[in-house]
């Protein structure tokens, strides 16, 4: 693991690091915010998964999460959204290839060599940060935005017992029924839908659901609202009697202005679960 940068931040440290990923077969970059309390012992962990076109840097610099995490004594991990490198497959469209890993493991060429974001986030990166930072990996929660919200919800439900809480900003909730999902699943997994994994929050909610609280915020003026499938997840949560809240925030769109406005609520929501 290489240190790219470390900066003093709200009494703690905001670092950016890289490592050679065996899972993705390329170098991967991620960021970790450690609050001041990490100098004295392991601290609980909040993962933030970013959306389409983003890297580790977007939420790290725009979401304003460090201020609230420092107040609560929580570390934040900001992974990248896809593999990177000159030999990594890409596409001209913004919603496929680099920046659009969709947090799944691809099985189709040319994507299958590098696009293993499910295994990377579920296994390799947690092991790496757990070994190299003072983190309490028994206390983890997860959050995400858009494509990252899709990832956060699916990780939370598919890995029971891993996360104490999950939240999302404008998540893609029903990718099996959306152009933000069907396009990428077809490319990464092939046209045979029987081979598509259960990486759909609405479908997973109809199954086991999540064994903890959920918080979702979506703006009423979200320019991608038709692609998100919020209604499908709301119906599934209601039918499941899932502990959770979906809030439609009047006038807000899909941007980081929206995320930063409600980030305090999300960090405090996770802190309540992490310190329970």
Read off the pLDDT of residues 229-270 as tens digits, 9 standing for 90 and up: 999 999 999 999 999 999 999 999 999 999 999 999 999 999
The CATH code of the domain that includes 110 is: 3.40.50.1820
Per the structure, the complete domain to which residue 37 belongs is given by 2-274
Which tokens is 13 given?
Answer: 């440290």
pLDDT digits (tens, 9 = 90+) for 49-93: 999 999 999 999 999 999 999 999 999 999 999 999 999 999 999
User: Over the stretch 107-157, which tens digit does the pLDDT of each residue have?
Assistant: 999 999 999 999 999 999 999 999 999 999 999 999 999 999 999 999 999
Per DSSP, what are the bridge partners of residue 14? 7, 33
H-helix or E-strand spanning residue 83: none
Residue 195 — pLDDT band, cuts 50, 70, 90?
confident
* Residue 175, C-beta contacts closer than 8 angstroms, at least 6 positions apart: 102, 150, 181, 182, 184, 185, 199, 200, 229
Active site residues: 146, 222, 254
Question: How far apart are alpha carbons 51 and 123 in whole angstroms?
Answer: 20
Does residue 223 have a pLDDT over 90? yes
Q: How far apart are CA 217 and CA 145, in angstroms?
A: 10
- Mean model confidence pLDDT for the chain: 97
Task: Specify the pLDDT at position 134.
Answer: 98
Give the separation between CA 104 and CA 136, rounded to whole angstroms. Answer: 25
Distance CA 234, CA 248 (A): 11
Angstrom CA distances, 217 to 42, 60, 171, stand at 30, 19, 8
% pLDDT > 70, the chain: 100
pTM over 0.95, yes/no: yes
The predicted-structure confidence for 3-52, as pLDDT tens digits, reads as follows 999 999 999 999 999 999 999 999 999 999 999 999 999 999 999 999 99
Please report, to the nearest 10 degrees, the dihedral formed by the alpha carbons of residues 33, 37, 39, 44 taken in order.
Answer: -60
> Domain count of the chain?
1
Angle between helices 65-72 and 256-274 (to 10 degrees): 10
Q: What is the model's pLDDT at position 197? A: 83
């Amino acid at each position: 693991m290489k240190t790219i940068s470390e900066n003093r931040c709200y009494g703690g440290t905001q670092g950016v690091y890289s490592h050679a990923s065996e899972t993705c077969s390329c170098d991967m970059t991620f960021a970790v915010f450690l609050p001041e309390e990490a100098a004295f012992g392991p601290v609980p962990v909040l993962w933030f998964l970013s959306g389409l076109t983003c890297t580790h840097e977007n939420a790290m610099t725009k979401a304003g999460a460090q201020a609230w995490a420092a107040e609560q004594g929580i570390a934040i991990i900001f992974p990248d959204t896809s593999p990177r490198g000159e030999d990594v497959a890409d596409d001209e469209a913004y919603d496929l290839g680099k920046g659009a890993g969709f947090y799944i493991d691809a099985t189709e060429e040319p994507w299958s060599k590098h696009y293993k974001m499910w295994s990377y986030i579920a296994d390799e990166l947690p092991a790496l940060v757990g070994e190299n930072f003072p983190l309490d990996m028994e206390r983890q929660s997860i959050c995400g935005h858009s494509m990252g919200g899709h990832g956060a919800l699916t990780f939370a439900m598919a890995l029971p017992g891993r996360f104490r809480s999950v939240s999302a900003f404008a998540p893609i909730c029903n990718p099996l029924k959306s152009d933000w999902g069907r396009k990428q699943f077809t490319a990464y997994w092939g046209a045979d839908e029987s081979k598509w994994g259960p990486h759909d929050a609405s479908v997973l909610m109809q199954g086991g659901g999540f064994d903890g609280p959920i918080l979702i915020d979506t703006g009423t003026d979200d320019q991608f609202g038709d692609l998100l499938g919020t209604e499908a997840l709301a119906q599934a949560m209601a039918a499941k009697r899932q502990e959770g809240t979906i809030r439609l925030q009047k006038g807000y769109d899909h941007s980081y202005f929206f995320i930063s406005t409600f980030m305090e609520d999300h960090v405090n929501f996770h802190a309540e679960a992490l310190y329970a």
